[in-house]
Amino acid sequence: MRYRRLDLNLLVALDALLSECSVSRAAERLCLGQSATSSALGRLREHFNDPLLVQVGRRLEPTALGLELLPKVREALDLTREIVDSPAGFEPASCTRQFTLVASDYVVGVLMPAVSLELARVAPGVRLRLRDMPASRDGEVVSEALDYRRSDCVIVPQRRLNPDYPHVPLFSDHLCCIVCTQQTQFAEGLSLASYCAAEHVVREFSDGRNLAMDAVHLLESGIQRRVAVAVESFALIPEFIVDSARVATVFRRQAQRFAQRYPLRIHPAPLAFPEAVQVLQWHPYQEHDPAMRWFRGLLLEQAAMLDQPGS
């Protein structure tokens, strides 16, 4: 179908090309050959009288017009998808969609195993794709995850919430400390002095610009700690605590899971860290998508169960 001389099928190609910034990856996404995808790019360039993608070093980058068009094209495609899907309604048992969610490995570890089991029970055809927090282009991870990475949902700490996207609080947690059970000097707990004197294992974000919550609070409080090991995954922290006199500051739910697998002792933090609230966000154009509304509800249900005894 054409509208004002443009084949509307090319909007799907435009979305893929501007999202992937690669003809070969766009071709894979579109299930087309590279020559057909290159031809589509040529027709789009001719229609818009703009290159849309230009070579910068070894990669393609969107032009100013390309960046302007991308959110509009996505909005048009999302609305089209909503119109097409709306008559069918939604039945979890027959759903075969893939839901892509972005979250830290802490959130994935404490929440998503239960979500996965519930999906297997009520919606066995659903596929779950979990992605770690992206290294954002401008320090804003929510738009990076939802607009550029085309994820369905993102779970972020409340301090990184983006008010331009719908959101709802998901669950909260508190920071505590873990030490190796063999270290008798920590048997009775941690004072602020012993906390500062000890070597620490910390979670450090790969982009180098976004500090973890404990690091932000310590910096604001003027407290320095001796960082011995920095890792990019919460899950790696216990490996560097066992058989050492090091200390790590982690979330209590995560600490409890670590202590089930490693010889670790959990202590209250020697200073008052703020409550850590995790927030669920999604794209405005998916607000009324029946499948997405159901999936968000399932996430909220499973998060509420984290506070039940035995969770």
pTM, entire model: 0.70
Secondary structure letter of residue 235 according to DSSP: G
CA separation for the pair 102, 145 (Å, rounded)? 7
pLDDT at position 206, please? 63
pLDDT single digits (tens) 212-230: 888 888 989 999 999 999 9
Least confident piece of the model among 160-169, 204-213, 301-310: 204-213
- Among the ranges given (12-26, 136-150, 176-190, 254-268), the one the predictor scored with the smallest mean pLDDT: 136-150
* pLDDT value, residue 20: 86
Average pLDDT score over residue span 130-137: 75
Range from 123-132, 138-147, 176-185 carrying the lowest mean pLDDT: 138-147
| Confidence (pLDDT) at 256 | 94
User: What values do phi and psi take at 3, rounded to 5?
Assistant: -135, 115
How many CB atoms neighbour CB 100 within 10 A? 17
* Domain range list for the chain: 2-85, 92-172+276-307, 175-268
Model confidence band, residue 82 (pLDDT cutoffs 50, 70, 90): low
Query: Tokens 């008010």 map to which residue?
Result: 163
Cβ neighbours of 146 (radius 10 Å): 24
d(CA 143, CA 130): 17
Quote the pLDDT of residue 296: 94
CATH 3.40.190.10 fits 92-172+276-307, yes or no: yes
Q: Report the chain's mean pLDDT, rounded to a whole number.
A: 86
The Cα–Cα gap between 52 and 17 comes to: 9
CATH topology of domain 175-268: D-Maltodextrin-Binding Protein; domain 2 (3.40.190)
Give 182's pLDDT tier (boundaries 50, 70, 90): very high
pLDDT digits (tens, 9 = 90+) for 92-107: 998 888 999 999 999 9
Task: For residue 88, name the pLDDT band (cuts at 50, 70, 90).
Answer: low
In CATH, 2-85 is 1.10.10.10:
yes
**Which whole number is the average pLDDT over 284-292?**
86
- How far lies 250's CA from each of 28, 119, 171, in Å? 40, 28, 16
Same topology between domain 2-85 and domain 92-172+276-307: no
Total residues found in the chain within this entry: 311
Overall average pLDDT of the 249-271 stretch: 95
Reported as a pLDDT band with limits 50, 70 and 90, residue 208 is low
pLDDT for the residue 89: 62
Q: What is the pLDDT of residue 179?
A: 96
Average pLDDT over residues 297-310: 84
pLDDT bucket at 14, cuts 50 / 70 / 90? confident
